[in-house]
Amino acid sequence: MLASYISANGHPASAKADKIQSITGVLMGCFLLAHLHFESSILLGKEAFYTVVQFLEGGMFSSTGHGFPIVTKVFSVFMLLVVMAHAAVALRRFPAQLGQWRALRRHMSVINHKDSHAWFWQLATGFVLFFLVPVHLFTMIANPEIGPHLSAERVYHQNAWLLYALLLPAVVIHAMVGLYRVAVKWGLTTKRTALRKLAKGLIIYLIVIGILSLISYLIIGSDLSMPVEAYRPS
């Protein structure tokens, strides 16, 4: 069953879909790397995060220096479209039946192939992200206002930390494994062992800075009184 499943999905007609999946995957992976580092600026203090937000939202084009939240809204819509395109072509690779999942598990237990294990983790995390990522993006589209206080309000007072606690490890693992598999698939490197070590190191690093950032928002949020006012540097 597994062999027939792989064979069916390995048809030459899927080459175009493979390219779309790889391009959208690389785009999302690079975005995640940038996004988590921008978010982690909160670790340097409220003013550092505020400065980063205003820069990303085009504050340099405003007479007041304050950015335009519409930029966050538009970019969130764009990323939602990218996610939808990626999911649409990736779903053809998804085991659709319980028997296919069992065959995959048996295959992994018999053949200890690291790339097969990487593929399994990408499938598992992809299933989780199918539900979590749209929730996050819809939230940003509906309420694009971000900043040290407003983001902390969302995390602490609106209990968004529950979503982010599930989303963080799933999206990091999925993205880094995905970038590894794209590099191998398209022959960008032959040093798989070194690339796997790099991917593992990035997974640990990104999850750590993501958790520290989340904790910072929780601490800031716990000190805020309702209604929350947007942060303004002194």
Binding residues for heme b: 35, 86, 136, 174
Tell the burial category of 129 from Cβ atoms under 10 Å away from its Cβ (0-12, 13-18, 19+).
Answer: buried
Alpha-carbon distances, residue 73 vs 26, 32, 133 (angstroms): 22, 17, 15
- Calculate the CA dihedral of residues 186, 26, 22, 206 and round it to 10 degrees: 90
8 Å CB contact between 136 and 192: no
Cis omega before residue 227 (within 30°)?
A: yes
Q: Is 132 helix (H, G, I), strand (E, B) or coil?
A: helix
Residues tagged in the binding site annotation: 35, 86, 136, 174
Amino acid at site 158: Q
Distance of CA 85 to the CA centre of its chain: 15
